Amino acid sequence: MIMTIKWKISVGAKNLFDKITLVVPHRRPVIDIIRQLRNELFIVKDIRDCTTRDNIIQALNNIIGYLKSLKEIPEDGLILNAHKDKLELKASKEPVNINLYRCDDHFYTYMGETL
Instruction: Name the residue ranges covered by the structural domains of the chain.
Output: 19-104
- Decide if pLDDT at 24 tops 70: yes
Angle (CA) 105-92-96 rounded to 5° is 85
Helix (H, G, I), strand (E, B), or coil: what is residue 88?
strand
35 falls in which pLDDT band (50, 70, 90)? very high
59 falls in which pLDDT band (50, 70, 90)? very high
Length of the chain: 115
Distance CA(48)–CA(86), nearest Å, equals 23
H-helix or E-strand spanning residue 62: helix 50-68
CATH topology of domain 19-104: 3.30.960
Distance CA(90)–CA(27), nearest Å, equals 18
Distance CA(64)–CA(77), nearest Å, equals 16
Evaluate whether 74 touches 1 at the Cβ level (below 8 Å).
Answer: no
